[in-house]
Structure 1
Amino acid sequence: MNQSTDGTGEDPPRERLRRDLEAVLMVVDQPVAEYDLARAFGVPVEEVAERLRAMAREYTEQERGFDLREVAEGWRFYTRPECADAVEHFLRDGHEVRLTQAALETMAVVAYRQPVSRGRVSAVRGVNCDGVMRTLVLRGLIEEAGNDPESGALLYRTTGYFLERLGLRSLDELPDLAPFLPDDIEGLDDTGEHT
């Protein structure tokens, strides 16, 4: 029987697959399909699916601070619900953490286009912003602002805390973007694409 060097009883290729799956799933911001993971690692989809389900059971049995969940036809790590209060405290009050470039860009789109839906923010940035939006809500920088009357989409706006952190009295004090826009601004739609 093959033994891995760490004594888990798994053969080395299976342990490498587990390690590689964990590494990829740790950095993604949206669920990844089993097929995409299998293709990336050159292994059968069934093997990836079996390994992911085993990992998810193991994390639950060990009562880790995170879950591995199958959602939206893919897999992703999520904070365990019992840990939500601790995470919220850390993000809001417990530790001053700098915002990532993605968070700053997302916050700027919300600030200049509010109230705005997640879909519109993602369209402007050209990437899915759901995870970043959740983080900004948790940090108290943006908040829900009702629903769009036409589409029903949830809208977001900046908060008083946002103004406080930026040292602004009101949104009117946000810098003018005109000097940073391209000269051929005529003919651009809401997403910045030429019409």
Structure 2
Amino acid sequence: MGDANLESATLSDAIAAEVEAGLGAPTLAAALEALLLVSDEPVSSAVFADFLKTDENDVITTLTALMRDYAAADRGFELRQTADGWRMYTAVTCSDLMTRWARDGQRAKLTQAALETLAVIAYKQPMTRARIAAIRGVNVDGVVRSLVARGLITESGTDEASQAMLYRTTPLFLERLGVEALSELPAISPLLPDIDDAVDLFDAMNAS
């Protein structure tokens, strides 16, 4: 009976229990939300528990409470549990809206950071976020999410060695550039002269 009550707890119940227990800030719920927002692939409860140094059953209980709370609040996003773990997704009811937004709603020019990230992916695709970050020398999580939202890049399987998500450009990317194929892109050297050396260095570091 106790386990059933825990599983059916609302998000507010879960947070209140943590505060009462004196676990401090951030709460487990807040920590999990933060990690979910920057995760581009499903993450298992075991990985969350290991990273947060907490009990896996507590992680599962809190994730379940979050999932139910989002569903009850009719959010534009939802938390799903798949065979590979937990991940945030756009709500199904908003899928058409997101497609329209990616194609027509974001007319603002891309930032310099977005252009550089897009160039790296275009010339060396498919690429993982770690590879892109190694080449650019900065965290690219937010930029990658923005490019995915705009429909300019998309997920393209996982890297065999690291199992990290791979990204490649989309037909919309070519359309926006006014070309029909990647082979029509200009030579890489004037744009990113050090990209090949950076990729070789990244591969060498991972192989050691």
- TM-score tier, shorter chain, comes to 0.5 to 0.7
Alignment of 1:143-162 (within 5 A): 158-162=173-177
Instruction: Kindly name which structure, 1 or 2, has the bigger radius of gyration based on alpha carbons.
Output: 1
Q: What whole-Å deviation, never above 9, does each CA across 1:115-173 have from its counterpart, x for those lacking one?
A: x5xxx32385378x9x97786465354589xxxxxxxxx97564121348xxxxx523x
**Could you say if the C-alpha distance between residues 46 and 71 of structure 1 is closer, same or farther in structure 2, counting changes exceeding 3 Å?**
same
Alignment map for 1:22-41 (pairs within 5 Å): 22-41=33-52
Query: What does residue range 36-47 of structure 1 map to in structure 2 within 5 Å?
Result: 36-47=47-58
SS at the partner of 2:99?
Answer: helix
In structure 1, runs of 5+ residues without a counterpart are 1-7, 145-153, 165-169
Question: What corresponds to 2:185 in structure 1?
Answer: 171
| 2:132 alignment counterpart | 125
Supply the AA of the counterpart residue of 1:176.
S
Q: Deviations over 1:39-69 (max 9, x none)?
A: 2333210111111112112211222111111
**Greater RCO structure (CA 8 Å; 6+ sep):** 2
Residue in 1 aligned with 2:160?
A: none
SS of structure 1 residue aligned to 2:79: strand
Partners of 2:45 and 2:59 within 8 A in 1:
yes
More helix by share: 2
Report percent identity of matched pairs. 33
**Contact conserved, 1:56 with 1:67, CA < 8 A, in 2?**
yes
In the alignment, is the contact (CA less than 8 A) between 1:69 and 1:76 conserved in 2? Answer: yes
What are the ranges of 5 or more consecutive residues in structure 2 without an aligned counterpart? 1-11, 135-139, 156-166
Aligned residues, how many?
164
Amino acid at match of 2:85: G
